[in-house]
Copies of this chain bind each other. A is one copy, B any other.
Amino acid sequence: MSNPQNPLNKPTLTTHQLHPENKETPISFIDHDLISSRLFYKRNHFSYPTLTYSNYWLPINGMVTTPKVFSLEEIAKFPSITTKVVMECAGNKRSLFKPLTFGEQWGKGAISQSVWTGVPLKTLLQATGVHPDAKEVLVEGYDKGKRTDMTSEYPFARSLPIDKALHPDTLIAYECNHEPIPFQHGFPLRLIVPNWYGMASVKWIKQISLIDSTFKGPYQSVDYMYYPHKQNEEDAFPVTTMNVNSTIQKPLDMDVLRTGTHLIKGIAWTGNGTIEKVEISVDHGQSWMEAAPQLNTDKNGWVQWSFQWTVTQPGEFTILSKATDTAGRTQPSTPFWNQKGYGYHAIDQISVKIEE
Contacts and interface: CB of A to CB of B under 8 A. Distances in A.
A91 to B, nearest CB: 11
B256 A3 contact: no
A10 B23 CA distance: 10
B29 A6 contact: no
Size band of the A side of the interface? 35 or more
A2 B51 contact: yes
A18 B9 contact: yes
Nearest to A49: B3
Contacts of A51: 2-3
Nearest to A258: B148
Interface in A197-255: 252-255
A105 interface: yes
A74 interface: no
A255 B102 CA distance: 6
Interface string A45-80: 000101111100000000000000000000000000
Contact of A11 (B4, B15, B149): B15
Given A1-B53, A105-B254, A254-B105, A184 B6 contact: yes
A29 B15 contact: yes
Given A13-B12, A15-B11, A255-B102, A2 B356 contact: no
Given A3-B50, A15-B29, A148-B355, A8 B105 contact: no
A5 interface: yes
Interface string A28-57: 110000000000000000001011111000
B21 A100 contact: no
A103 B15 CA distance: 22
Interface string A257-291: 11000000000000000000000000000000000
B11 A102 contact: no
A48 B5 contact: yes
B12 A14 contact: yes
A26 interface: yes
Nearest to A9: B21
A336 interface: no
A100 B12 CA distance: 25
Given A50-B3, A100-B254, A8 B148 contact: no
A25 to B, nearest CB: 10
Contacts of A104: 254
A164 interface: no
B148 A257 contact: yes
Most-contacted residue by chain B among A10, A23, A105, A148 (CB, 10 A): A148
Nearest to A101: B254
A146 B183 CA distance: 45
Contacts of A253: 105
The 4 closest A-B pairs by CB, nearest first: A12-B12, A11-B15, A15-B26, A102-B353
7 contacts: A2-B53, A8-B184, A11-B18, A14-B15, A101-B254, A104-B254, A105-B253
Interface of A: 1-6, 8-19, 21, 23, 26, 28-29, 48, 50-54, 100-105, 148-149, 183-184, 252-258, 316, 351-353, 355-356
Given A6-B184, A149-B356, 12 more contacts: A1-B53, A2-B51, A6-B21, A9-B21, A10-B18, A18-B29, A100-B254, A102-B254, A102-B255, A105-B254, A148-B256, A148-B258
